[in-house]
C-alpha cells in the first residue's frame, strides 16, 4: 500500500508506522541525492512555514530554513520575543492565527504539551523541532546516517549511554522499537527512562512484529558489547544547567572514550551525537574527532530528513 503523509503532524514517532518511517528515510535519501546533484526543486513552491523557537538552535533552525528554501518555500523565523505566544496570547489562539497564514508550523521549545496543542488547533501540519520529551526530526537524521553506514536498521545494535531519560533516549527508543533494532540504554539507575515508556516500546515492538529488543542497564561496558553504534548526548539538557555538577559526578563512568569504544569488540562501531557536544564531558575529543565519528553526517542529514517531513506533509508531490 502506498504511503501518504499529506496533512500529517510529526509530534513524536509514536504515531508513525514502520512503513511511514521507511518512506521518510527513502524520500530523504532521494532529496539528498537531488541536492548533491545541484538540482533546485519546487516541491514547496508557494508554501509558507512558521518556525517557532523558544530554545536556541543551530541545526534545527538552519535545517528547516535551508530545506524550505531549497524546494521553493518561504520560512519565517519566530523567536520567543517575536510573537505573543506564552505572553499575551495562549497557545490555542496563536495556533489558529498562524494556521490561517502558514501552510506548516515548526515548534522548538520546552513542553511537549505546547506542540500538541498547536497541532490540535492550527489546522495545518505541526512538526516537533525538539521538546523536553521528544526530538523526532533528530531521530530520522540519525536513522538515515545509520542506514547509510550499515545498509539497514533492522538488527543494528544501537546503544545510548548517559542521561537515559532525556528526549534523545526517549525518541531513539521509540524509533528503534518500530524499526527492529537492538536498543540498549546504559545509564545510572537514577536516570533510567520512565518504566511506562520502556513498556510501551516493548509493546510497540511486539505489536508491529519488528523483532526489536529493548534493554536498560547500569553497566556501560555491558551495554556497548557488540554495538554497531554508540550514541550519547549532553549530561545536562537545556534548562537543567543547575544539575551539571551532580550529573558530572554520576555520569563520568558513561563518558564515551577510547576504552568504551573498544569495549564493543567491533572494528566497525561508529560514534554518534545529536550536538552540540561538550567535549571532555560526555565524549572525549579523540573520539569526537576520530574516523569512527559520524556527528557531522548526522548534522547534514537533519536538513535532508526535515525536508522530507515538510515535503511529504505539505509539498507538491
User: DSSP 3-state assignment of 269?
Assistant: coil
What residue ranges in the chain does DSSP mark as E strands? 48-53, 74-79, 104-108, 126-130, 157-161, 182-186, 213-217, 229-232, 270-273
Residues 112 and 171 in one domain: no
Report the C-alpha gap between 307 and 315 in whole angstroms. Answer: 10
| Vertex 215 angle, CA 131 and 193, to 5° | 30
- 152 annotated active-site: no
Residues 257 and 309 in one domain: no
What does the pLDDT profile of the chain (317 residues) look like in tens digits? Answer: 589 999 999 999 999 999 999 999 999 999 999 999 999 999 999 999 999 999 999 999 999 999 999 999 999 999 988 998 877 899 999 999 999 999 999 999 999 999 999 999 999 999 999 999 999 999 999 999 999 999 999 999 999 999 999 999 999 999 999 999 999 999 999 999 999 999 999 999 999 999 999 999 999 999 999 999 999 999 988 778 888 899 999 999 999 999 999 999 999 999 999 999 999 999 999 999 999 999 999 999 999 999 999 999 999 98
- 138 annotated active-site: yes
Q: pTM of whole model > 0.85?
A: yes
Residues 82 and 117 in one domain: yes
Residues 220 and 256 in one domain: yes
Q: What is the CATH number of the domain that holds 97?
A: 3.40.50.1370
Its domain, for residue 214, covers 138-298
Report the C-alpha gap between 186 and 223 in whole angstroms. Answer: 6
- 233 annotated active-site: yes
Residue 40 assigned as binding residue: no
Residue 233 assigned as binding residue: yes
156, 147 Cβ separation under 8 angstroms: no
Residues 262 and 155 in one domain: yes
Residue 12 in any domain: the answer is: no
Residue 135 assigned as binding residue: yes
pLDDT score at 241: 82
pLDDT score at 162: 98
Residues 279 and 190 in one domain: yes
Residues 119 and 65 in one domain: yes
Which residue in 135, 182, 228, 294 is the catalytic one? 135
Residue 179 assigned as binding residue: no
Residues 265 and 121 in one domain: no
Q: For the chain, what is the domain count? A: 2
Residues 219 and 97 in one domain: no
Residue 138 assigned as binding residue: yes
pLDDT score at 84: 83
Residue 95 in any domain: the answer is: yes
All cell numbers assigned to 169: 533516549
Residue 9 in any domain: the answer is: no
Which residue in 9, 61, 68, 138 is the catalytic one? 138
Residue 206 in any domain: the answer is: yes
Residues 149 and 288 in one domain: yes
Residue 169 in any domain: the answer is: yes
Residue 58 CB partners (closer than 8 Å, separation 6+): 275, 276
Residue 232 in any domain: the answer is: yes
Residues 78 and 119 in one domain: yes
Residues 293 and 207 in one domain: yes
Residue 189 in any domain: the answer is: yes
Q: In the chain, what are the helix, strand and coil shares in percent, each to the nearest 5?
A: 45, 15, 40
Tell me phi and psi for residue 200, to 5 degrees. -60, -45
Which residue in 70, 142, 163, 233 is the catalytic one? 233
Report the C-alpha gap between 123 and 11 in whole angstroms. Answer: 14
Residue 23 in any domain: the answer is: yes
| Vertex 311 angle, CA 27 and 132, to 5° | 90
Amino acid at each position: 500500500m502506498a504511503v501518504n503523509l499529506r496533512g500529517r503532524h510529526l509530534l513524536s514517532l509514536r504515531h508513525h508506522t514502520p512503513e511511514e518511517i521507511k518512506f521518510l528515510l527513502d524520500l530523504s535519501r532521494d532529496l539528498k541525492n537531488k541536492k548533491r546533484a545541484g538540482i533546485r526543486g519546487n516541491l514547496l513552491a508557494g508554501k509558507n512555514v512558521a518556525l517557532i523557537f523558544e530554545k536556541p538552535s543551530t541545526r534545527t533552525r538552519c535545517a528547516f530554513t535551508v530545506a524550505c528554501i531549497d524546494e521553493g518555500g518561504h520560512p519565517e523565523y519566530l523567536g520567543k520575543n517575536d510573537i505573543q505566544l506564552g505572553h499575551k496570547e495562549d497557545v490555542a489562539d496563536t495556533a489558529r492565527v498562524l494556521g490561517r497564514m502558514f501552510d506548516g508550523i515548526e515548534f522548538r521549545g520546552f513542553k511537549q504539551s505546547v506542540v500538541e496543542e498547536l497541532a490540535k488547533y492550527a489546522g495545518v501540519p505541526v512538526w516537533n523541532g525538539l521538546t523536553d520529551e521528544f526530538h523526532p526530526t533528530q531521530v530520522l537524521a540519525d536513522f538515515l546516517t545509520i542506514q547509510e553506514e550499515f545498509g539497514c536498521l533492522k538488527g543494528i545494535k544501537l546503544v545510548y549511554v548517559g542521561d537515559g531519560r532525556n528526549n534523545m533516549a526517549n525518541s531513539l527508543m521509540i524509533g528503534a522499537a518500530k524499526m527492529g533494532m537492538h536498543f540498549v540504554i546504559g545509564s545510572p539507575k537514577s536516570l533510567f527512562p520512565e518504566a511506562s515508556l520502556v513498556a510501551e516500546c516493548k509493546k510497540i515492538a511486539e505489536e508491529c512484529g519488528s523483532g526489536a529488543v529493548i534493554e536498560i542497564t547500569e553497566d556501560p561496558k555491558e551495554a556497548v558489547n557488540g554495538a554497531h553504534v554508540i550514541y550519547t548526548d549532553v549530561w545536562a539538557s537545556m534548562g537543567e544547567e543547575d544539575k551539571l555538577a551532580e550529573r558530572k559526578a554520576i555520569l563520568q563512568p558513561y563518558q564515551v572514550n577510547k576504552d568504551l569504544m573498544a569495549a564493543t569488540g567491533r572494528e566497525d562501531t561508529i560514534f554518534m551525537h545529536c550536538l552540540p557536544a561538550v567535549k571532555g564531558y560526555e565524549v572525549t575529543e579523540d573520539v569526537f574527532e576520530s574516523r569512527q565519528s559520524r556527528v557531522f553526517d548526522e548534522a547534514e542529514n537533519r536538513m535532508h530528513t526535515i525536508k522530507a517531513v515538510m515535503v511529504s506533509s505539505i509539498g507538491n508531490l
